[in-house]
Structure 1
Amino acid sequence: MKKYYLLLFCLNCCFSAFSQEVTKTDKTAFQAGEQITYKLKYGFFNAAEATIRVENSPVKFNGNPALHIIADAKTAGTFDVFFKVRNRYESYIDQQTLLPYYYTEDRHESKYRHTDKVTFDHKTNIITADKGKFPFEGNVFDFLSAYYFARNIDVSNLKVGDKLELRYFLEDGIHSLGITFLGREKVKCGLGTFNCLKFNPTIIPGRIFRKNSKLYLWITDDNNRIPVKAHVELIVGSLVMDLSEAKGLKYPLNPIKK
């Protein structure tokens, strides 16, 4: 597995934690103007930073207004010297259904370059990308739209051990990610300590991950449903993604008072 896949994997898992098969609530957890920033650390070293923001789109799709989601990811510190990453991901989603209309990515990872343009046609159930056309059934997302759809899922009936499945399109096809609900915990991040929902997305062992490597993800147990921390074990060391800034939120972000 190349290094850039490791960074993308951690960002993807933080951005998309639930299955599209569960029930969406009527209450929207976010609004245009929201901006969230994460820091990725390898041991004591700052490895990367990712910022996600939501804007009202001037472009309409099939006459419907859309929200424009933009995510920028870049390496930091020593990692920026030896393996420079400058990635941008964009998704246009329906304001009501939160399903994606259009997705783009522009990845610059050391000497590697990759771009993609993806159109989701939910009437014909065809995804059109740079590598061809891909039929699908049910709701399929890009990882950005999956993240925002996930924040609006009804989790009130989740029980410890419940398993969910995420389906998303990335680069060359539709992929699935299994996720297990582990319960509720208090978790500390860069913005304080929060009551959180804890999940365990499945990972595949390889050159980066051990056979028994675990990935854990914590999401605020409030109306915002924001991922505040992720931790993944590697063959050598571990990576931690931590919420460092959140502004323009629809609901107050209330850390636990000491």
Structure 2
Amino acid sequence: MKLRIFIVLLIISALGFWSFRPASDASGFAFSTGEKLVYKIFYNWNFVWLTAGEVIFEIKDEPDSYHIEVTGKTYASYEWFYKVRDKYHSYIDKTTGLPKLYIREIHQGNYRHYEKIVFDYPNHKAYSSTGRSFNNTKTSEIDLDGNYYDMISSMYYLRNIDLKSFQNNKSTAFKLILDNTKYELNLKYQKEDPGFKVKESGTYKTIHAIGDVISGNVFNEGVQMNFWVANDSNKIPVLMESPLVVGSVKGILTSYQNLKYPFSAKIK
């Protein structure tokens, strides 16, 4: 199966916990420049879990933006089956937490895809360019009827929200743009776990939630994704998993650097 879910798993799963509320300034964000998160990706096929690759999230500094760089790649041992080399960039305004620019470059087997979104919030517009490469794209103008995010900026911006506000089976909707299309997806809080064990990662205090995904050639209609986020001020996802059209996939946190706050959710 073509794992176009490779990074989408991590981003969409991280979207789920939060509603949209502008931060007053960068000091209130749950992250800061220099943070680095590494996730290992596993693919299940016929009851066998294969170690497929890894995704790395890094925050770099710009004068008025956080530059989020995300790199996804398959391990050499998996590339007989399918080779992935993906790169994502998102530039997030340090004051509002809203995205300014998003770039996605996909190299998966023989498949190539390029996406660029320029967000013009003062004029309530976004300009989305997609195609096989940078030199071969078509641009669409999209009306912004509210706060919309790309996959990367959603993960980071939404980490600033109080997760516990969704207790008592509450759900919330969130909005994003992907491939010239606007989506509104839903998320539902499940429960807190004071000692959730993640194989090859550790034991954490977590909050568990489920979220909608975009159906198509990766997810079946009606499928929901499970994810567990660290129950502390950093609010980083520690485990994400979902069934696919063929098999299933999960991502686990394997390393982290330069978190803004002490990682108090990690027990061992």
Which TM-score applies when normalising by structure 1? 0.88
Change (3 A) 1:138 1:113: same
Deviation readout 1:79-129 (Å, 9 max, x if unpaired): 322211100000111112111111111110111111122110110011012
Whether the aligned pair in 2 keeps the contact of 1:15 and 1:144 (CA below 8 Å) is no
Partner of 1:188: 197
What secondary structure is seen at the aligned counterpart in 2 of 1:97? coil
Cα offset for 1:75? 1.5
Alpha-carbon distance change, 132 to 23 in structure 1, aligned in 2, over 3 angstroms: closer
SS of corresponding position for 1:37? strand
Structure 1: how far apart are the matches of 2:96 and 2:221?
A: 38
Q: Which of 141, 165, 178 is residue 133 of structure 1 equivalent to?
A: 141
The answer to whether the 8 Å contact 1:16/1:150 transfers is yes
The structural deviation recorded for 1:20 is 4.2
**Which of 235, 238, 250 is residue 260 of structure 2 equivalent to?**
250
CA distance 1:144–1:212, shift in 2 (3 Å): closer
Query: Within 5 Å, which residues of 2 pair with 1:120-159?
Result: 120-130=119-129, 131-159=139-167
Question: What do the CA deviations read for 1:176-234 (whole angstroms, capped 9, x no partner)?
Answer: 22111101123223431111111101246666556675421000110000000011124
1:62 corresponding residue in structure 2: none
| Aligned mates of 1:204, 1:132 — CA distance in 2 | 20
- Is the Cα contact below 8 Å between 2:13 and 2:225 reproduced in 1? no
Alignment partner of 2:249: what SS? strand
SS at match of 1:14: helix
The corresponding residue for 1:50 is 55
CA distance in 2, matches of 1:80, 1:10: 19
Alignment of 1:1-258 (within 5 A): 3-22=2-21, 27-43=28-44, 44-58=49-63, 65-130=64-129, 131-185=139-193, 186-189=195-198, 190-203=200-213, 209=219, 213-234=223-244, 237-254=247-264, 255-257=266-268
Q: Relative to structure 1, is the Cα distance of residues 247 and 111 closer, same or farther in structure 2, using a 3 angstrom cutoff?
A: same
For the residue of structure 2 that corresponds to 1:82, the secondary structure is coil
Q: Say if 1:201 and 1:215, in contact at 8 Å, map to a contact too.
A: yes
Structure number with higher strand proportion: 2
> 1: CA distance between counterparts of 2:34 and 2:82?
31
Q: Is the 8 A contact 1:25 1:153 kept in 2?
A: no
Give 3-state SS (helix, strand or coil) of 2:123's partner.
coil
| TM-score normalised according to structure 2 size | 0.85
Return 82-91 or 234-243, whichever deviates more.
234-243
Structure 1 164/32 Cα, relative in aligned 2: closer, same or farther at 3 Å? same
| Alpha-carbon shift at residue 158 of structure 1 (Å) | 2.1
3-state DSSP of counterpart to 2:166: coil
Partners of 1:252 and 1:6 in 2: CA distance: 31
Q: Distance in 2 between matches of 1:22 and 1:180?
A: 18
2:176 and 2:78 map into 1 onto residues whose CA distance is: 29
Separation of aligned partners in 1, 2:214 and 2:94: 34
In the comparison of the two structures, how many residue pairs are matched? 250
Residue ranges of structure 2 left out of the alignment (5+ in a row)? 130-138
Q: Which amino acid aligns with 1:196?
A: T
What percentage of aligned pairs have identical amino acids? 29
Structure 1: runs of 5 or more not aligned: 59-64
Deviations 1:44-85 (A, max 9, x none): 311121000001115xxxxxx111000001112443222111
Distance, in Å, in 1 between the alignment partners of 2:126 and 2:173 is 20
1:174–1:187 distance in 2 versus 1, CA, 3 Å = same
Does the CA contact (< 8 Å) of 1:36 and 1:245 recur in 2?
yes
* CA distance in 2 between partners of 1:207 and 1:139 (Å): 27
CA-CA distance at 1:14 after TM superposition = 3.0
